[in-house]
Amino acid sequence: VKQEETEQREEKLARLKARVQELRRQRDELRAKVDLQQKGQLGKAGVVSDAAQPSAQAVLEWKIKSVKAMLQVFYLTGISGKLTKQGVCFCISTAYEGTYLDSYYLDLLTKPEVRIHRHSVPTFIPLEQIAKKHLETDIRRFLSVLADHLNAYVGRRHQADQLQEHFSDQIEGTLQRNSLCNLLVFNYNLSSRSKTFPFNARLLYGDLCCSLPTEVTVSCT
């Protein structure tokens, strides 16, 4: 199963790389067309006239094509989006080990500057810090980091739910977790030779972009 998952990830990565190369080729063609248009409208004196500047319609069409191409790349990575009258609305789909979980929405305004209009991201996800660091400078990086946080969170939550559901007969009481699910604490019992040994487990997820614990403490009480 792990080998098959690895092969699927490699195939997906290869498709993404091919798509990125195709988008770069299209971008270069658009730039070349704009350059040719500008050179063709040069005056005899070698000075660019006002008409040589790209029209507002041409610039708008180029921006729309660029945004659509970016949305297509994001769709292949679990992030989809559509243009709105005021900007772009993104949908980040999350999953853990092939199991689809939740979708989160992010509505961005692009005028006069890029900013978050509304969203469904949980309050305990550091959205404000991520936006402050990446939103205005690199929107692709912003969405990538945000998706990493969301996928890691739902992965941790899913594991906790599965643990509670499938091992309820061994877990004593209720599994304790915080809202971010980066700290799990639970008690469980093991029996051997008519004796029962009570254990306490504490799982800490120090990396909020990771769905596996970075520190595990198990003690016998």
Q: How many domains does the chain have?
A: 2
Question: In this predicted model, what pLDDT tens digit does every residue of 79-102 receive, in sequence order?
Answer: 887 888 888 899 998 888 878 889
Question: In this predicted model, what pLDDT tens digit does every residue of 188-200 receive, in sequence order?
Answer: 988 887 888 889 9
CATH of the domain at 104: 3.30.457
Q: Domain for residue 195, yes or no?
A: yes
Q: Domain for residue 2, yes or no?
A: no
The token pair at 38 is 């500008």
Between strands 195-204 and 87-96, the pairing is unpaired
CA–CA gap between residue 150 and residue 94 (Å, rounded): 7
- Give yes or no for a contact between 220 and 199, defined as CB atoms under 8 angstroms apart: yes
Q: Whole-prediction pTM value?
A: 0.64
Domain containing 213 equals: 174-220
CA-atom Rg of the chain in angstroms: 25
Q: Domain for residue 188, yes or no?
A: yes
